[in-house]
Structure 1
Amino acid sequence: MLRILVTGGTSGIGAALVRESLRAGHSVFTTGRDPVKLDALLASSHASGRLGGVVADAGDWEQMRDAVADASGFIGGIDVAVANAGFSSPGDLANGDPLLWRDMVLTNVYGPAILAKATLPQLMENRGHVVLIGSTAGRKVYPGNLYTATKWAVTGYAESLRQQLVGTGVRVLHIAPGHVDTPLWRESPDASIPPESVAGTMLWALGQPPGVDVSEVMVRATGQAF
């Protein structure tokens, strides 16, 4: 069984990643910004001893470094590091809030980089996995949308990291979901998949034999236009 660290695991895709990983028998440690949501997630789990968590900002180096140490202590090491934390700020490039832009870029772009840096020593020792949750928005440009730029950055970062780690035994998986039925949406899209579908995709890829590197998967609802 795997020892999995998930950032942003208190809602949406992250919570599904936590639940489905536990259901598959893995041990999980998660982070989240909201202590109330984190406490609720931990209290709702029946996986005694296999789920832990700590409040931490995925875009803060010191907090994530400490969270990785906490995770390693709780689950006995890290085999899989999942950079899931992310959000979209409202508005466009003319009327959006620059302070929210800063937080979004730190979480969505800087966050995966510092998670990988903090976990790579263990992942190299364990021949583990880095999983980056991107988006189909990392393949398409929308007018005045900075969120899409952050997901383009994740797309590029995933491939750059994969190339750097060739020969180490560490595999890098970039999952790019389309519309997912989560609180991220202010209005529900016409076609969407449940977050459990993203979790299932991750678990399928993690289950491949060591000689198989599933490096990128796009998963979206049948009928989504792009």
Structure 2
Amino acid sequence: MDRVLDGKVVLVTGASSGIGEATALALSAAGAKVAAGARRTDRLAGLVERAAGEVLALELDVTDEGSCRDAVSAAAGHFGGLDVLVNNAGIMLTGPIPGADTSEWARMVHTNLLGAMYTTHAALPHLLERGGTLVQISSTSGRTASAGGGVYAATKFGVNGFSEALRQEVTAQGVRVVVIEPGMVDTELADHITDPVTRAAARDMMKSIRTLRPEDVANAVLYAVSQPGHVAVNEILLRPTDQVV
């Protein structure tokens, strides 16, 4: 692979599995110095071993604003700056709204939305200094809400709205804001669903179509962040060919 990101420093959240792990590996292979943040730090050891270049493993809980600031500071301090932030950490606890366990709503809002906001806010001084790039891993659910996914969709609609407002605020200073909206990806997200009917439906759907792979989303991230500085790829929507909505 061409080392199109030589000299760039990247922080990826939620890097212990799935899209985050694949993105960290892809950007490392492209020459970036990568800080990989996650709660499950034990899983980051394998990522560090498999990466093409230097990867700094960081304990990061995006629901804790202090943890976000510490991770950004550690990444920038270790590598001498920060050029790219990939906000990938997220959870998908879908299920019907009536009778829902509202503590799961709070977990999704704190992780998917506030977590992305906290990490973005901490990283912005570095991105502004270096004309960097912010990548938000959103979802097709940030465009179209569906029954059983109301609160998850609300968090992703929130990410999209926050990102567009931020883009308008910082684009004149050279910071690019990218929103990537994948459809169904073969990751462990569906396994975290606690509602048995919704979990079974998600698993059945994943078996019935050719899902995206984490590497497909990582390639979209790489494409966006490797464009020349005057090119801003603000939005990428990618679905499995077989996915209808």
Q: TM-score under structure 1 normalisation?
A: 0.94
Match of 2:57 in 1: 53
Over the aligned positions, Cα root-mean-square deviation in angstroms equals: 1.4
Match of 2:34 in 1: 28
Where structure 2 has 5 or more consecutive residues not aligned to the other structure, the ranges are 1-5, 192-202
CA contact (8 A) 1:38 1:55 kept: no
Q: Distance in 2 between matches of 1:153 and 1:213?
A: 21
Q: Distance in 1 between matches of 2:63 and 2:82?
A: 20
Deviations 1:64-109 (A, max 9, x none): 1001111112222110011110011143212332222212111100
Q: Distance in 2 between matches of 1:212 and 1:46?
A: 28
After TM superposition, give the deviation of residue 149 of structure 1 in Å: 1.1
Q: 1:170 aligns with which of 172, 175, 178?
A: 175
Secondary structure of residue in 2 paired with 1:185:
helix
Match of 1:89 in 2: 93
Where structure 1 has 5 or more consecutive residues not aligned to the other structure, the ranges are none
CA contact (8 A) 1:5 1:30 kept: yes
Count of paired positions:
224
Q: Distance in 2 between matches of 1:93 and 1:32?
A: 29
Deviations 1:21-61 (A, max 9, x none): 1111111001111132223333x33545x101211211211
What amino acid maps onto 1:36 in structure 2? D
Q: Distance in 2 between matches of 1:171 and 1:109?
A: 19
Q: Is 1:183 the equivalent of 2:188? A: yes
Runs of 4+ in 1 over 4 A off after TM superposition: none
Match of 2:130 in 1: 126
Q: 1:140 aligns with which of 139, 144, 155?
A: 144
Match of 1:158 in 2: 163
Secondary structure of residue in 1 paired with 2:171:
coil
Q: Distance in 2 between matches of 1:201 and 1:32?
A: 21
Q: 1:5 aligns with which of 5, 11, 14?
A: 11
CA contact (8 A) 1:91 1:97 kept: no
Secondary structure of residue in 2 paired with 1:167:
helix
Q: 2:43 aligns with which of 18, 37, 47?
A: 37
Identity %: 39
CA contact (8 A) 1:94 1:144 kept: no
More helix by share: 2
Q: TM-score under structure 2 normalisation?
A: 0.87
Q: Is 1:77 the equivalent of 2:85? A: no
Secondary structure of residue in 2 paired with 1:165:
helix
